[in-house]
Amino acid sequence: MNAKPYSEACEQNKGPILDVLRRYFTLPGFILEIGGGTGQHAVHFARALPHLDWQTTDLAGALAGIQLWFDEAGLPNLRPPLALNVRQEVWPVTRADGVFSANTAHIMSWKGVECLFRGVGWLLATGGVFCLYGPFNYGGQYTSPSNAQFDRWLRARDPESGVRDFDDLDRLAETEGLRLLADCPMPVNNRTLVWVRE
């Protein structure tokens, strides 16, 4: 039997992220998670927020591991994970009341980030919220030495990846009709950026 994938970072940040989601995912609805990773976040959030119908997506290779977490959890509001590459023209979901994504913008190319925001802008219902968690720069400056070191590591591994600047992301959001609602400080020099669909 295959062992479930595991991320220590997920275990450490799921509580603080949940605190933010509780503030902005208040109404019953359908939530799209982009980049579900191991599946740990989805299980934790779906269990704590039973009023949400949670749909996790990731690249095809991650789905089997996510499903192991889902099978063990047995939660009625967790849908089977779907394959999604944000750069594909047709997404497997066409509408969502909210979107959540963690630690994705810095591992994608900038073209991928543009596709992410375009897709979210297209499918997010009016009044719906997009929560994006991760490390971000401000005014082109790192917020900590550890984020600078992380950015160097990312770019050495893939020159098209890297810690993104808040202003660049907010411009993309505005282009897609999303207005910044909150910028929430998180542990370990991360943030959760929250936009609402006008």
Express each pLDDT in 56-104 by its tens digit: 999 999 999 999 999 999 999 999 999 999 999 999 999 999 999 999 9
Express each pLDDT in 10-23 by its tens digit: 999 999 999 999 99
CATH for 8-197, options being 3.40.50.150, 2.70.98.60, 3.30.1280.10, 3.40.1390.30: 3.40.50.150
Give me the residue spans of the domains in the chain.
8-197
Q: What is the pTM of this model?
A: 0.98
Position 2 confidence tier, pLDDT thresholds 50, 70, 90: confident
Express each pLDDT in 143-160 by its tens digit: 999 999 999 999 999 999
Q: What is the pLDDT of residue 54?
A: 98
HEC sequence for the chain: CCCCCCCHHHHHHHHHHHHHHHHHCCCCEEEEEECCCCCHHHHHHHHHCCCEEEEEEECHHHHHHHHHHHHHHCCCCEEEEEECCCCCCCCCCCCEEEEEEECCCCCCCHHHHHHHHHHHHHHEEEEEEEEEEECEEECCECCCHHHHHHHHHHHHHCCCCCCEEHHHHHHHHHHCCEEEEEEEEECCCEEEEEEEEC
